[in-house]
Amino acid sequence: MAEHGAAEEEKVRASVAWRPGSAIKQAEQALIAEKTRVLRPFGLTVPQYAALYALSLAPGASGARLARLCSVTPQSMTTVLKTLESRGLIERHPSPDHAQVLVTRLTEDGSALLAEADGAAVAVERRLLGAFTPEEADRLRSLLERAAEALAARGS
C-alpha cells in the first residue's frame, strides 16, 4: 500500500513539475513556515508581524490600507488589529477626517516587540537571499514581479 501511495505522489509531482505555480507555492509555504517558526517566541503570527511592520512605516494607516499593504483581506486585517489592540500593541482612534475610519498606531509596547521580532524575520529573509548571488536575487525579484503583473492583467 505504501508503494502505491509513493507512486501516486510521484505521478502528481511529475504532472505539475512544469507548472510554475507549484514551485511558487512551495517557496511561499516554506517562507511562511519559517517566519511562523521564528515569530512564535514573540507571540506573533506572520500577519500580525506584517501589520506591525507596516504600521511602523505608515503610522495612522486605516485597516483597509493596512490590508492592502499586507496583502490580506479587510476581514482578516480586522481580526489581526483586534488581537493586536487587545494585547496593547496598537491603538486605534477615529480619524479626524472621516468619522467611520479608525487610524491605527503602534504603542510603545508594539514598537518594542516589533524591534525584537523584526530581527528574527529579517534573518529569515537574509537566509533566503543567501541562497542566491546578488544578480540572481535581483533576477528572481524581477521575475516574480513580472509573474504577478501577468496575472493581474487578467487575461488582457
The position carrying cell 496593547 is: 88
Predicted TM-score (pTM) of the model is 0.84
C-alpha cell at 89: 500593541
pLDDT given at position 108: 98
Q: What is the pLDDT of residues 17-64, one digit of tens each?
A: 888 988 899 999 999 999 999 999 999 999 999 999 999 999 999 899
Please give the span between the terminal C-alpha atoms of the chain, in angstroms, as a whole number: 47
> What distances in angstroms separate CA 37 from CA 30, 86, 101, 117, 133, one per listed residue?
11, 23, 34, 11, 26
